[in-house]
Copies of this chain bind each other. A is one copy, B any other.
Amino acid sequence: MTADSSIQPRSANPLLRALGGETVHPAPVWLMRQAGRYLPEYRALRESVPDFLTACYTPDVAAEITLQPVRRFGLDAAILFSDILVVPDGLGQEVRFEAGEGPVLEAIRPSDVAKLSLARMNAHLTPVVETVTQVKAALDDRTALIGFAGAPWTLAAYMVEGGGSKDFAAARAWAAQDSAGFGHLIDLLTQAVVDLLRRQIEAGAEAVQLFDSWAGVLSAEAFRRWCVAPAKAIVAALGDSHPGVPVIGFPRGAGFLLAHYAEATGCAGLQLDHGVPLDEAAALQRSVTVQGNLDPVLLLVGGEAMTRQILAIRAALGQGAHVFNLGHGVLPPTPPEHVAQLVETVRRADRKDAA
């Protein structure tokens, strides 16, 4: 921070301008899971490391993976290649990724929370921070660098369940039965996320996204307590230490409670899943920059169906602050050419608007 940090030069980057509340034409565009298995250059590089987590923890590899889609498609942002589960892994709850099976953890019980260690995590995640430094050095000013972390509820859900789940009933039951004990876990994770995001920002991340991928399995009451309150604390803590760095919240499946989430947390950007209708997205856009929300399945199939929906999204959201993105991550069988087509369509749509 400089002495007059309140006087900030207007950013050259369209993503940061949009997150600052500007209407930007053409809309900045990046895609959740834009680095990954659908890219042949990713699959080739992944052969050089034994497993997924090793890729996340090897800065040269992770930085290269982060840059691959930016180079190929000229996207407006790079997002750190990592995984939300590096946090429990760093805290001492070991995570493995089984091929085709998703993450596997030794499920924790309340008595295990005391064994988790923030100091251990901060040491363990140094390679993730080093990746951010390397990516930042490789990017020009026009391309923003986004850091990220899983939100406390979603991390806790995997940690208690021991992996993915349809409904995360074990984690939800613990939260309902012993809210004080579960609250300790959430508090620890909130601090862990703040620590990790601060280090990403110090290493060069210019915006951060908070992924609450399993917010949608919660009751409205539990959502307020376990998603909104921690996100609010994280936004406030980052605002204290690093004012002006926008936080994009992604409470996936929050539906009716999206407006409450945006208002209560004070996030600069709100990632919308593809279940959010465009008229509701436009209503949300009156108070927050919205990001989204093309169905990844339309990117998978490409062609006219995709083009039509891209134009509909931009028609609905083009009069306000909008970052073009998907409603969820790129699906692995997606043809890379469809991503090129998406980027071109977003940019051409807005050139026509301007004409």
Q: Does A237 contact B (CB under 8 A)?
A: no
Contact A176-B331, Cβ < 8 Å, known A275-B218, A276-B256, A277-B256: no
Are A305 and B177 touching (Cβ within 8 A)? yes
CA distance A223 to B277 in the complex (A): 10
CB-based nearest B residue for A308 = B221
Which residues of chain B have C-beta atoms less than 8 A from A71's C-beta? none
Q: Does A278 contact B (CB under 8 A)?
A: yes
Instruction: Give min CB distance, A247 to chain B, whole Å.
Output: 23
Instruction: Give min CB distance, A32 to chain B, whole Å.
Output: 13
Q: Does A222 contact B (CB under 8 A)?
A: yes
> Hey, what's the 0/1 contact readout for A223-258 against B, CB within 8 Å counting as 1?
100000000000000000000000000000111110
Which residues of chain B have C-beta atoms less than 8 A from A176's C-beta? 295, 297-298, 300-301, 305
Instruction: Give min CB distance, A25 to chain B, whole Å.
Output: 24
Q: Does A328 contact B (CB under 8 A)?
A: yes
Contact A278-B220, Cβ < 8 Å, known A255-B255, A255-B256, A256-B256: yes
Q: Count of chain A residues with Cβ under 8 Å from any Cβ of B?
A: 39
- Copies held by the complex: 2
CB-based nearest B residue for A215 = B275
Q: Does A173 contact B (CB under 8 A)?
A: yes
Instruction: Give min CB distance, A291 to chain B, whole Å.
Output: 16
Q: Does A327 contact B (CB under 8 A)?
A: yes
Interchain CB contact (< 8 A) of A300 among B173, B296, B297: B173
Instruction: Give min CB distance, A81 to chain B, whole Å.
Output: 21
Q: Does A167 contact B (CB under 8 A)?
A: yes
The DSSP consensus for interface residues of chain A is helix
- CB-contacts of A252-311 with B (<8 A): 253-257, 274-278, 280, 295-298, 300-301, 305, 309
CB-based nearest B residue for A178 = B301
Are B255 and A297 touching (Cβ within 8 A)? no
Are A300 and B216 touching (Cβ within 8 A)? no
Are B219 and A327 touching (Cβ within 8 A)? yes
Interchain CB contact (< 8 A) of A275 among B166, B169, B220, B296: B220
> Hey, what's the 0/1 contact readout for A167-198 against B, CB within 8 Å counting as 1?
10100110111000000000000000000000
Instruction: Give min CB distance, A21 to chain B, whole Å.
Output: 24
Instruction: Give min CB distance, A331 to chain B, whole Å.
Output: 6
Select the residue from A167, A254, A255 with max chain B CB neighbours within 10 A.
A255
Q: Does A20 contact B (CB under 8 A)?
A: no
Interchain CB contact (< 8 A) of A295 among B172, B274, B280, B296: B172
